[in-house]
Amino acid sequence: MAFSKDFIWGAAAASYQVEGAWNDDGKGPNVWDVSAKYGHIRHNETAEVSADHYHRMKEDVALMKELGLKAYRFSISWARVLPNGIGEVNEKGLKFYSDLVDELIANGIEPLATIFHWDYPYALDCLGGWKNKDSSDWFLEYTKVIIDALSDRVKYWMTFNEPQCSLGCGYMVGVFAPFQKCSTPELLEMGANMFRAHGKAVKYIRENAKQKCYISMAPYGSIYCPEDDSEEAFNKAYNDSFKSEGERFPFSMSYWSDVVYLGHYPEDMVEEFGDQLPQFTDEEWAMISAPLDFYGVNIYYYKGYPSADGGYDTNWYQGRPHTALNWPVTPEAMYWVPKFMYKRYGLPVMITENGLSEHDWVCLDGKVHDSYRIDFTHRYLRELSRVADEVPVIGYMHWSVMDNYEWAEGFDERFGLIYVDYQTQERTIKDSGYWYKGVIEANGENL
């Protein structure tokens, strides 16, 4: 009996990656809309049209129903709702999400909303973005608009998707929009403002949502796996997984999760940065670390230790199975991440993303035979089933419901259960989509 009878089987996508309609109906630009034009993206591709989900939402929800999804995790485009990030509300943009939620519910699909999945309003970026001391109030203003409009129907809320990538990729190594390389003190200050934003949003949701809500963040779970069955190996993997990685703290698990779920900076960060760490008042700490309802986490693969001789990291070996994005196939991550997160943070776990990129195409018979995606997902879900016997796991969201814009990698990478032909916008449910439907119907008993 691995999966509870109310286990939430779903799939996910994010606003910028699927919606297109980049300037329709009054939407404002976000940092991706703007910087994608400056040669940062493979083939200079932009998501101006992408999977055109904005115009094909009903067709897409019908496909989700055909897949048997019980939930759809989507994100809201801040600049679609508030074209300048703050100030005037774009009612047409807001209506899109309201209609999406209605359509999902009418089709028996639970809406799970992510407030921020990387598409930061360009107008606010011009004011300094997360560096600006008002940035958490801007986030609160945006949160208010969507909570007031949608919380009568949406119960599940995630504040930030992978804040590691927002800060680390967007502002430290500069491989995601807005492609900046900021100093460590700046990054610490920006992170602090993101925590304040999270805290203010959670407080607002708790006090104003129109029904009981379940709130989380959705960081990525990047851990080391124990190398053998010994207690020593377990402790080493566990302790190393929660190291905050010095100046690479934006990419760590513990920076984001210890602050939000435990109410303090990780101890090794206190040692490393001392007085440099931005301080919070007691009131701010209480708000930032107010109790959440579950631990949402995105799981793709586990980390490896670098080899001493410049060879493979410990999670690699010659010929190791890997995905089209060159990510190692490590199903055990799906066992160890929930286990580690439950041990440290003590909350039920939801897998908010998991999946793989392949270079699928439509075969001569008109179908998409993505056997690798089936095998990958089967392996990961078996591990999830194993850990679900030990740890409360409440849901699994496959990434992604449909092919979409893979950020700086553009459209070459396909993660979907549904294939999208970007020339015609024709959709084809892949073999993996039908396979996943069977898993949902059997509540995972057939894995």
User: Is 353 annotated as catalytic?
Assistant: yes
Q: Work out how close the CB of 244 gets to ligand BGC at its nearest, in angstroms, rounded to a whole number.
A: 20
Q: Mark whether 45 is an active-site residue.
A: no
Tokens describing residue 256: 């984001």
Q: Report, in Å, the least distance between residue 287 CB and ligand BGC.
A: 25
The residue ranges that bind ligand BGC (CB under 6 A) are 14, 17, 161-162, 165, 220, 298, 353, 399, 406
Report how far residue 307's alpha carbon sits from residue 64's, in angstroms, rounded to the nearest whole number. Answer: 43
Q: CB within 8 A of 111, min separation 6: which ones?
A: 71, 72, 74, 100, 101, 104, 105, 150, 153, 154, 156
In the numeric block, the tokens 């509300």 are attached to 89
- The least distance separating ligand BGC from the CB of residue 248, rounded to whole angstroms, comes to 17
Distance (Å) of CA 437 to CA 63, 214, 353, 434: 11, 25, 17, 5
Nearer residue to ligand BGC within complex by CB, 383 or 406:
406
How many whole angstroms separate alpha carbon 103 and alpha carbon 123?
31
Looking at beta carbons only, is 151 or 377 nearer to ligand BGC? 377
Pairing mode, if any, of strands 418-421 and 426-429? antiparallel
Q: Which residues contact 66 (CB under 8 A, 6 or more apart)?
A: 429, 437
- In angstroms, give the least distance from the CB of 379 to ligand BGC: 18
Nearest-angstrom CA–CA distance, 149 and 152: 7
Q: Which amino acid is residue 25, in one-letter code?
A: D
Smallest separation, CB 354 to ligand BGC (Å): 9
Three-state DSSP state, 78:
helix
Residue 10 gets which letter from DSSP? E
Q: Which is nearer to ligand BGC, 3 or 256 (CB)?
A: 256
**Would you say 162 or 189 has its CB closer to ligand BGC?**
162
Contacts of 3 (CB under 8 A, 6+ apart): 385, 388, 393, 443, 444, 445
Give whichever of 90 and 161 is closer to ligand BGC, judged by the CB atom.
161
Q: Least distance (Å) from ligand BGC to the CB of residue 299?
A: 10
**Which residue in 103, 110, 162, 189 is the catalytic one?**
162
Residue 119 or 332: the one with the smaller Cβ distance to ligand BGC is 119
The residue from 245, 332, 353, 413 that is catalytic is 353
Residues belonging to the active site: 162, 353
